[in-house]
Amino acid sequence: MSFLLSPAPHVRDNKSVPGVMCVVMIALLPATIGGIYFFGLQAAILIALSVVSAVVTEFVMNKMMKREVSIMDGSAALTGLLLALCVSPALPYYQVVFGSIFAIIIGKQLFGGLGFNVFNPALVGRAFLAAAFPVHMTTWLAPFAYRGLDAVTQATPLAAMKFSQQTTSYVSLLYGNVGGCIGETSVVLLLLGGLFLLTKGIINWRISFSYLGTVAVLSVLFGADPIFHLLAGGLMLGAFFMATDYVTSPITDKGMWIFGIGAGVLVVIIRLFSGLPEGVMYSILFMNAFVPLINRYTRPRIFGRRG
């Protein structure tokens, strides 16, 4: 009997970075089309500007930092798409360009590029926009407002619940006929994309399910409507497309549970006890910071070693 000796890595996979990015963008297609359907040409332009700005910024940074051009791996385009889907459809065009540039430069390239960033780049860009342009980032268009002569504003379901005690029907939340970010309003379309990623083995179910499950359980414990909190806001977009990012989430099974539960706890705390109606962005960014520690203390013991 003969044995083949070779250097690590010993586990090979047929997945490639461009392939994974392509599948994720395909999974986002239903929510993207839905956002354009609900919010019209304004949403389509914002999406296009965000994606193009991200790709161009990545190319320029590659040249400036004398790195291999990486725009063909699709990660920059995905960052731009995710950023566009989690901003208000009323956002001025130049602001989404700034957010996309910030996401690539600060959230990704200054850390060393894809694979070295600590925080989800799209959420870094959104956090910048929320801090720099808070009024525009919290001005929401009602679905189909573009079909009239004047834009009609509408509070998001979470804001209506928190500040006006107005409830939104489950049907509207599932369908997407509510105010909100471009790609977060239709739960059905997001679930289609999320389930597609799960069936393709692109994302790990532990993060998404622990995230959503924690929000549901804590909502019940605090006397809130768990179904409403699962369906409203950006939770579905965050659970399937943001929290599961390969680079900024744990690599161990136990670590994934810790990450998802921690993010879920933060969402409920922010939604129920802070002055903000939503907490998905902050919950994921906060847990991103702990990923190195989570990986360190949840890694399996090496066979033949103590502790």
Q: Which residue has the tokens 């390239």?
A: 109
Mean of per-residue pLDDT scores for the chain: 90
**Spatial separation of the C-alpha atoms in residues 68 and 114, rounded to whole Å:** 12
Q: How confident is the model at residue 152 (pLDDT cuts 50, 70, 90)?
A: low
Return the DSSP state at 118.
S
pLDDT of residue 12: 59
**Spatial separation of the C-alpha atoms in residues 176 and 178, rounded to whole Å:** 5
Q: Which one has a higher pLDDT value, 14 or 282? A: 282
pLDDT of residue 11: 54
pLDDT of residue 304: 54
The top-level CATH class assigned to 17-292 is mainly alpha
The answer to whether the predicted template modeling score (pTM) of the entire model surpasses 0.85 is yes
pLDDT of residue 4: 56
Return the DSSP state at 141.
B
Q: How confident is the model at residue 150 (pLDDT cuts 50, 70, 90)?
A: low
Q: How confident is the model at residue 5 (pLDDT cuts 50, 70, 90)?
A: low
Residue 219 scores a pLDDT above 90: yes
pLDDT of residue 224: 94
- Which amino acid type is present at position 272? L
Mean pLDDT of 235-251: 95
Mean pLDDT of 48-65: 95
Q: Which residue has the tokens 């910048």?
A: 128
Residue 300 scores a pLDDT above 80: no
pLDDT-wise least confident of 96-105, 129-138, 153-162, 244-253: 153-162
- For residue 89, whether the previous peptide bond is cis, meaning omega lies within 30 degrees of 0, is no
pLDDT of residue 201: 93
Mean pLDDT of 142-151: 66
**Spatial separation of the C-alpha atoms in residues 20 and 184, rounded to whole Å:** 21
Q: Which one has a higher pLDDT value, 48 or 277? A: 48
Q: Which one has a higher pLDDT value, 151 or 205? A: 205
Q: How confident is the model at residue 157 (pLDDT cuts 50, 70, 90)?
A: confident
pLDDT-wise least confident of 59-73, 256-270, 271-285, 292-306: 292-306
**Spatial separation of the C-alpha atoms in residues 97 and 107, rounded to whole Å:** 14
Give the contacts of 85 (CB within 8 A, at least 6 positions apart): 28, 31, 32, 35, 47, 181, 182, 183, 184, 237
pLDDT of residue 283: 97
Q: How confident is the model at residue 46 (pLDDT cuts 50, 70, 90)?
A: very high
Q: How confident is the model at residue 196 (pLDDT cuts 50, 70, 90)?
A: very high
The first and second tokens of residue 177, run together, are 């006929």
Return the DSSP state at 276.
-
Mean pLDDT of 102-116: 93
Q: Which one has a higher pLDDT value, 207 or 66? A: 207
